[in-house]
Amino acid sequence: MSGTAAERVGIDVGGSAIKAGRVGADGSVHAKQNWDAPHFDRGPAHVLDGIAELARSLGVRDALGIGVPGLLDRARGFLIESPNLPNFKALDVRGELARRLGLDPARVHVENDANAAAVGEQWLGGARGERDALVLTLGTGIGGGLILNGELFAGEGMAGEVGHVVIAPGGRACGCGRAGCVEQYASATAARRRALEAGLPKDAPGDLKRLTELARTADGAERALCFEVGRDLGRGLGPVLCLLDIRCFVFGGGFSAALDVLEPGIRAGIEERSYGERQHSVRLLRATLGPKAGWIGAAKLAF
Ligand SMILES: [Zn+2]
């Protein structure tokens, strides 16, 4: 395999797998490849070697995009720190990959993983063609990437981090060091915990798939819990509407499969925390690229 000038390799560093692919300027996907179960515990050099190998096998030529989880110095392509990868600190991702691959460092684009996924969804997925959108990932936490005027808006690097909007001051402790963040109430992990605490569903406490099925079919305790979780999510989105007047929210990640049963709650939460008639024109959409969103977006950013 070898890439042409009109193709870019994109890489997505996830907690359990590193996914990659080669994408044409027209959005056509030419190749994809995963590195399953990388040994992050063997340290950054080992992982960077593996990423370089992955990029080479996909035929990387003169440019590369990579999405990494954590706090970045975007201008320099540095990973400052990553809550999920504790031994990856102050890492020159751009420089290290450029050196390993013989690329000009300016052609290695390093982006936050949620931002990369948002770019992917806006290019080819559920947010396709949207001018303004917030793309959320409902997983272990809640990731967010902001599209404004058709382009990624990253601010100094942390824009779109809606998972850490505080909805319950003094509430549950969060990995970010504060308390009451929306991801402690409405991520997949949080929803599972809430279901377990409530003993729901009765036949399989904490099973989100089953919970969702039951919420869909009957107006019972499962539906009520999904409403509560959705409302907490909406409480985190209300401020987004107030500040940016974004009417399009796109949901990815495993728990987005429950969007239909979360939607009434999300709308109630948004209504509670924003004003004006505009809540009624808010669109809640599903992401469509699944686990490909991150590397497709990373590739797009490398064009
Ligand atoms: Zn937090």
What are the mean pLDDT values of the chain's consecutive 10-residue runs (303 residues total)? Answer: 76 91 95 92 95 96 93 91 83 97 97 95 96 95 95 90 95 93 97 98 96 97 98 97 95 95 97 87 96 96 95
Residue 122 domain flag = no
Asked if 136 and 282 sit in the same domain, the reply is: yes
Residue 214 domain flag = yes
* Cα 230 to ligand 1 centre (Å): 18
* Cα 21 to ligand 1 centre (Å): 31
* Cα 185 to ligand 1 centre (Å): 11
Residue 177 domain flag = yes
What pTM was estimated for this model as a whole?
0.92
In contact, 11 and 298? CB cutoff 8 Å: yes
Residue 2 domain flag = no
Parallel, antiparallel, or unpaired for β 71-73 and 78-81? antiparallel
* Cα 166 to ligand 1 centre (Å): 7
Asked if 133 and 258 sit in the same domain, the reply is: yes
Asked if 103 and 155 sit in the same domain, the reply is: no
Residue 260 domain flag = yes
CA nearest 183: which of 116, 134, 137, 228?
137
Separation between Cα atoms, residue 122 and residue 62, nearest integer Å: 24
Which residue range(s) make up the domain with 208? 129-287
Tell me how many degrees the CA angle 180-255-30 measures, rounded to the nearest 5. 125
Residue 124 domain flag = no
* Cα 222 to ligand 1 centre (Å): 26
* Cα 1 to ligand 1 centre (Å): 42
Asked if 112 and 177 sit in the same domain, the reply is: no
Q: Is 24 exposed, middle or buried (0-12, 13-18, 19+ CB in 10 A)?
A: middle
Asked if 101 and 211 sit in the same domain, the reply is: no
Residue 146 per-residue DSSP state: E
> Which residue matches tokens 């990387």?
60
Parallel, antiparallel, or unpaired for β 29-36 and 17-24? antiparallel
* Cα 227 to ligand 1 centre (Å): 22
Asked if 88 and 22 sit in the same domain, the reply is: yes
* Cα 26 to ligand 1 centre (Å): 37
* Cα 155 to ligand 1 centre (Å): 18
- pLDDT of 249: 98
Q: In whole numbers, what is the pLDDT of the chain averaged over residues?
A: 94
- pLDDT of 194: 98
For residue 220, give the CATH number of its domain. 3.30.420.40
* Cα 163 to ligand 1 centre (Å): 7
* Cα 288 to ligand 1 centre (Å): 27
* Cα 197 to ligand 1 centre (Å): 21
* Cα 218 to ligand 1 centre (Å): 33
- pLDDT of 37: 86
* Cα 53 to ligand 1 centre (Å): 35
Residue 123 domain flag = no
Asked if 86 and 171 sit in the same domain, the reply is: no
Q: What is the pLDDT of residues 91-140, one digit of tens each?
A: 999 999 999 999 999 999 999 999 999 999 999 999 999 999 999 999 88
Asked if 103 and 232 sit in the same domain, the reply is: no
* Cα 173 to ligand 1 centre (Å): 8
- Positive or negative, the CA dihedral 107, 112, 117, 119 is negative
Asked if 240 and 139 sit in the same domain, the reply is: yes
- pLDDT of 157: 80
In contact, 231 and 199? CB cutoff 8 Å: no
Angle of helix 208-217 versus helix 188-198 axis, rounded to 10: 70
Asked if 113 and 195 sit in the same domain, the reply is: no
* Cα 112 to ligand 1 centre (Å): 17
Asked if 181 and 168 sit in the same domain, the reply is: yes
* Cα 69 to ligand 1 centre (Å): 15
- pLDDT of 2: 52
* Cα 178 to ligand 1 centre (Å): 6
- pLDDT of 120: 97
Three-class SS of residue 208?
helix
Domains in the chain: how many in total? 2
Asked if 99 and 137 sit in the same domain, the reply is: no
Residue 211 domain flag = yes
* Cα 284 to ligand 1 centre (Å): 23
> What are phi and psi for residue 9, nearest 5 degrees?
-95, 135
